[in-house]
Structure 1
């Protein structure tokens, strides 16, 4: 290599050691193989690293300036003035070479969340309810209370890492000898070792069991609503915080009522005479039997409203209504006496003449009338 070291680093020949160091770090950030995969960049990185190794070392720089040539050192070997911590700091985020300031990994871990689906009745939507939800989950080990150790024992400091949870690993790289940090394989990064794991939980601090939780279901919930119960899920390992329990609601269909927002809607069949004359009929609701007033002359599809007997919406007190749709039942078969009475009724109203006139009409009525007039 016959390049000028000062020119490679982009500094003047009277640059200070700090200026040389700053210039090298700037170039290394763009040329290091962990950042720039270009082969030419890797070759240039080797050159600027050799230049930095020479110019950052007081004796080597003096010999280089006296004409000793650019061969003072074949490649950086960590000589005086070459700070490997600077390189670690530059590339820790990209290549994960550093493990500085990392402490032991806690054994405690948050437990998982639990989801259970529950079916409820429409009545429960109207008034709200409480329901028992049973599920299998992890709970704190009663034998060790989450310590993971047999009663009377405790974890001991790991001798392999001296309780730090990490060990140093020496590797050879383009920069020479590199020291990295890795989780201790003996203690798995925890910093301590459990010599006698709890026989009740096999050293996990929790066991599996069946639990039953009371869930309060407010009125006004809808199909698919999820209720969150914090801390009612799985207990974490080694006594870690518990996850949450989620209860997803599924509302069963009702044989009589359908929900429409905050209202309940139903259809009631009433005889033709009742619709014509009017009446008060009983209606079974979630609040007991109510009287339904059908006014005289009610028409098919007409609605009768019962105020305040519907669903209580979430976070509000005012209930919706019950809307009753009238389905007027017209008889499909009549006895002789019923027919006579209806015909008398029709005659009184003048409906009989209209009925006969309607029967005489049709597509051939006008043609028949013209033929008769010929």
Structure 2
């Protein structure tokens, strides 16, 4: 007696679609003619493909389950069939005959019960026994870190990725890929670039999956990226902070601009430059994070300057004690 599709895939009848898919992939890696050393690998692979084609389709699976539950309805050369396809042999149905059922014969009955009992699906299932079905490869995901300056200009960058995957034998391995990746300007933190056909290889000539690269920007002592916003640390002198002077800075984009520091500015205070962040469809903002830097008093003149400074602010109490 031929094996049922469930037996071919090694699963139970209540297996989920995810379990059916996993079972197929496991067997495909084992019996694929390109990698298998089994003498009957091609024949087994054809049976595996037919089984998966039927059970992965909810409608076909329901029809096939009906066939399994009503074996008395089908006869193949004096034996029951469990393969889901039926040859042009004798057919009988217990409790029915042509006079009472109104069936006009083999083709009429198959047509009434639907494609799962023959009809339009009959030839299709027979064809599936003779050929292997192709399947698209899985998509893969990776992430890279790039310099924040790239957000303003874009670039083409050569990258090498190490991507966990499974080889043709179903064994885990790390795949090393070196690719030329075009990174457009305006990429936000966490956005993806899709590379068509760079994912896992397809099965039986199927299309390759895609590779999705997630963009992350390197955090430095001066720059931090959040979405489309950039936080940029700017050092200022104590007098610039106290007097509220105009200063010149170089932005992450590479431009030199004038910025007015407010009077009595404090360390950690942020100045927002609207739409000066990552130039995406909705531009981000550039936040200047002020950091007051005090010069070292190395010479006697510099020490005297600090002494005069302290005398000028004799009532200033830096500690609440």
| TM-score of the aligned structures, taking structure 2 as reference length | 0.48
Tell me which structure has the larger Cα radius of gyration: 1
Structure with the larger RCO, 1 or 2 (CA within 8 Å, 6+ apart):
1
